[in-house]
Amino acid sequence: MPKRSFIARRKPHFWAIGTLGLIPFLLTGCDSQLLVLNPAGPVARVEHNLIVTSIILVLIVVVPVIALMFYVVLRFREKPGRMAPFEPDWSENRTLEIAWWGIPIVIISILAVLTVRDTYRLVRPAPSVTGPVLTIQVTSLNWKWLFQYPDQNIATINYCTIPANRPVAFVLTSNAPMNSFWVPQLGGQEYTMPGMAMRLWLQADRPGVYFGSGANFSGREYAKMKFRVVAQSENDFSAWVQRVKSSAPALTLADYKRLAHPSVLNELEFSSFPKGSFEATVRREGGLYMEHRMMEATD
């Protein structure tokens, strides 16, 4: 029986490598768009520009390195008749060392300057001509999101409504394990941590419904910690607030304690909430989550 050639014996491996290489391109059809690369607000646009700039700067290094790798493999491969000089004492090349140390240093310096500049740009919202900043207090719970509107005295579960073209200050805490609040089309993520109030300001340029989720592992049902951010015109937002105040039930302290217990809920609305409940959660007064964990431990 004739022996198969080396290429024939290795063909399945070449097919496997080729298939793995195609997987990232095939998976791009699973979603119509990459939300991070489709910004819908000023914060997301600044971060999008920084991402694109970083990719371009990285490619300045990656593309030549990969091209040189193939060149070196082909140019200096061992083959019959090659009479290349043998130089075992060759140790350095000052020009090459300056290139492979200098170029990365320049690129990292540029990225550092741009990152620091954009970070300080996003510390606070830009002046808005459409209205004052809207404050929304956000509490991550197991496994749901509570949104409280201190100025409007209403609350929602697993969705929030905001006015378009108006900056929104999200004040974030947790009454559960640490999580991360993320609306990809409006801006980067910010952690929610027990005993702390973190701030994140976002803005939507246009009315629409934007996907949000928890971006941190926080237990068994963490994958269900998704929420909607509904951006509306100022008139529609005001009408929504009035509808919730007139038709939704009130959120009592007993209801809040039940929310603190691990569960999965659909979207809910409340016409009011206990005054100071968010601040008490930040200060850990009442210890609702810790109280529940201690009860679990003693069962």
Strand partners, 180: 191
Question: Which range (8-22, 170-184, 224-238, 262-276) has the least confidence?
Answer: 8-22
* Distance, CA of 185 to CA of 104 (rounded, Å): 31
- pLDDT of 227 reads 96
* Distance, CA of 289 to CA of 233 (rounded, Å): 36
By the 8 A CB rule, do 201 and 190 touch?
A: no
Res. 81 pLDDT band, cuts 50 70 90: confident
Global pTM value: 0.77
> Which residues have CB under 8 Å from 170's CB, separation 6+?
136, 138, 181, 190, 199, 200, 201, 202
Question: Which range (23-37, 49-63, 192-206) has the least confidence?
Answer: 23-37
Q: Most confidently modeled of 31-35, 80-84, 138-142?
A: 138-142
> Which residues have CB under 8 Å from 103's CB, separation 6+?
60, 61
Does residue 154 sit in helix, strand or coil? strand
pLDDT tens, residue by residue, 137-165: 999 999 999 999 999 999 999 999 999 99
Res. 218 pLDDT band, cuts 50 70 90: confident
By the 8 A CB rule, do 170 and 146 touch?
A: no
pLDDT tens, residue by residue, 63-76: 988 998 999 888 87
- pLDDT of 284 reads 78
- pLDDT of 21 reads 55
- pLDDT of 92 reads 79
| Residue 258 clears pLDDT 70, i.e. is over it | yes
- pLDDT of 213 reads 93
